[in-house]
Amino acid sequence: MRNIVKLKIADLIIVMKSRFPIIEYSLKDWGAASRRRYNVFRYRGNRKSDIIIDVEVVDRLPAFAGGRAAFVAYGMVDRLENWRISKRKDNYIYRSCLPGRKQLILINEDFDRIRAYLPAKGKNIPGWSSLDLAFDFLQILTLNYLSHHKKGMILHAAGLKNARREGFIFSGRSGAGKSTLAQLWNRYAKKGGVLNDDRVIVRRQKGKFFIYPCPWHGEFSDHELAPNTAVKLKKLFFIYHAPKNIIGKIERRQAFDLLYPVVFSSFWKRQNQENLFFLCQELINNVPCYRLGFLKNKQVVSLLNKH
């Protein structure tokens, strides 16, 4: 079977395969930045897959009776349903209602064997695009796989690295300055780098925490060709705009209260959510946590490099 796409995200090998041909979007249709960023995560090695997605191309999405809605996501502006997860016997059903991306996907309880039904692309030859799965469903699948297997979590945060390949996470509410700080770091941090300006994956390996880039970024895309490699997590910062640049150590309880809300949650599976809860506790017990108030100037980069 030649119609295969392999990805490596947070050291997970994800294989999408189908008997139907692949018809990828053009740069004009999808956007050059997103396409280039996605290609960084293509994998050409021979490691055993962690997740397998079998893709079927259909004229009409199948209907599966029964099941209860476990979670429904709505648009922030129009409040219309975007997608939902339902529980049915020994699997989950993902349904997307997004225009141009209607999908029905069956997920097993371990989140590692998937059957995706996609509407045909192309007028003459029915085909499919891996990009249709990558930028909504695959993020949902990844966060559930990581939490279910106690391997990690996705944070709404920026991830940066310094010249010594030490990793830092900068988290805060929307508008706190994650993308702004990423831009300042990208411009002024010598031999530093930006992993992602909006979300990062954190994994625990052999008692240490590492941060990984991922394909899903926010406003800032200058890091789109950054290497798909992990760095050891050195410090965790909770950021806010301030009249001057200042760093202050915080206690574990306060750090947990700030960290837990920025974790991408698995609302529909209680055990996964409990795994995330304990992983957050372990993270703040092992990684120093700080509050960072900053101005939009290059001095904040110098302050962080000296800290």
In tens, the pLDDT along 85-125 reads 998 888 999 999 888 889 999 999 999 999 999 988 766 76
The tally of CA atoms less than 13 A away on the side-chain side of residue 72 is 7
Q: What is the mean pLDDT of residues 180-193?
A: 89
Instruction: Please tell me the distance from the alpha carbon of residue 218 to that of residue 173, in angstroms, as a whole number.
Output: 14
pLDDT digits (tens, 9 = 90+) for 4-23: 999 999 999 999 999 999 88
Query: What are 54's strand-pairing partners?
Result: 17, 115
Q: Indicate the burial class of 239 (C-beta count within 10 angstroms; 0-12, 13-18, 19 or more).
A: buried
Question: Model pTM?
Answer: 0.92
Which domains, ranges and CATH numbers included, belong to the chain? 4-135 (no CATH), 152-306 (3.40.50)
Q: What is the mean pLDDT of residues 187-195?
A: 88
